[in-house]
């Protein structure tokens, strides 16, 4: 069904070692297409604090920048996708977020996280308590529009199919590098399409 609703504000959440600068191309494109685009720098951005702490920053940003009754959509890149999921699944974001899009996020862990001795990195290892907890409650993501976009050539998310989840929409691209995903035209087009997709649920009813 065609979505006749006004476009929600979009909040972009970056990954580990990144800043909002990584979204420059995507932000410009979405603004040109009519979206109100938001982003902020996670602090610290190198994994010293846990995913829970970083997700609390989404709570604070949303409370300060969106009206209490204003729904919004979330796009999380890499670690930002896990931070976004924690916000949605554990911190009440499910009541505000209508579309959640993750880009190259390690939903089932990544071997590269074993290289970093930080708290957030440990939480992104395969079978970490945090990921197991999120994935054991994955069904709640069916209450919103969920999309996972990833590349089979990812060398940061190892194995690359760690970005796969057994629900929602899945888009697999042939982008050669992890960091290129948020700049790739096909990925940006997929994000735009997902943000325009009509909602599955509205006021508790299937549309």
Between CA 45 and CA 23 the distance in angstroms is 15
Q: What is the Cα gyration radius of the chain?
A: 16
Give the residue from 75, 168, 114 showing the smallest Cα distance to 85.
75
Q: What is the model's pLDDT at position 205?
A: 38
In this predicted structure, what is the pLDDT of residue 6?
Answer: 86
Q: What is the pTM of this model?
A: 0.93
* pLDDT in single tens digits along all 207 residues of the chain: 344 468 999 999 999 999 999 999 999 999 999 999 999 999 998 889 999 999 999 999 999 999 999 999 999 999 999 999 999 999 999 999 999 999 999 999 999 999 999 999 999 999 999 999 999 999 999 999 999 999 999 999 999 999 999 999 999 999 999 999 999 999 999 999 999 999 976 544 344
The pLDDT tens digits for 8-26 are: 999 999 999 999 999 999 9
Q: What 8-state DSSP symbol labels residue 205? A: E
Coil/strand/helix, residue 19: coil
Q: Is it true that the peptide bond before 29 is cis, omega within 30 degrees of 0?
A: no
End-to-end CA distance of the chain: 8
pLDDT at 122: 97
The domains of the chain, with CATH numbers, are: 10-202 (3.40.50.1820)
pLDDT at 200: 78
Helix (H) or strand (E) run with residue 169 in it: strand 169-173
pLDDT at residue 202, as a whole number: 55
3-state secondary structure 47-88: CCCCHHHHHHHHHHHHHHHCCCCCCEEEEEECHHHHHHHHHH
Cα separation values, 26 from 47, 79, 136, Å? 24, 17, 32
Burial level of 120, CB count in 10 A (0-12/13-18/19+)?
A: buried
The predicted pLDDT at position 201 comes to: 66
For 204, other C-beta atoms within 10 Å of its C-beta total: 6
pLDDT, position 173 = 98
DSSP-assigned letters across all residues of 143-165: GSEEEEEEETT-SSSSSGGGG--
Residue among 42, 159, 180 at smallest CA distance from 110: 159
pLDDT of residue 5: 65
The kind and range of the H/E element at 38 are strand 37-39
């Amino acid at each position: 069904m065609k979505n006749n609703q006004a476009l929600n504000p979009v909040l972009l959440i970056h990954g580990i070692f990144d800043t909002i600068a990584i979204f420059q191309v995507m932000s410009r494109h979405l603004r040109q297409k009519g979206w109100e685009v938001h982003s902020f720098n996670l602090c610290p951005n190198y994994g010293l604090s846990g995913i829970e702490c970083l997700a609390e920053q989404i709570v604070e940003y949303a409370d300060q920048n969106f009206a209490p009754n204003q729904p919004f959509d979330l796009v999380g890149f890499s670690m930002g996708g896990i931070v976004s999921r924690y916000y949605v699944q554990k911190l009440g974001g499910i009541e505000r977020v209508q579309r959640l899009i993750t880009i190259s996020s390690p939903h089932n862990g990544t071997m590269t996280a074993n290289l970093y001795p930080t708290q957030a990195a440990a939480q992104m290892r395969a079978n970490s308590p945090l990921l197991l907890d999120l994935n054991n409650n994955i069904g709640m993501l069916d209450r919103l529009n969920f999309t996972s976009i990833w590349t089979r050539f990812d060398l940061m998310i190892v194995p690359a199919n760690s970005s796969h989840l057994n629900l929602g929409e899945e888009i697999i691209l042939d982008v050669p590098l992890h960091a290129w995903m948020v700049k790739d035209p096909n990925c940006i087009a997929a994000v735009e399409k997902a943000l325009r997709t009509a909602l599955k649920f509205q006021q508790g009813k299937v549309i």
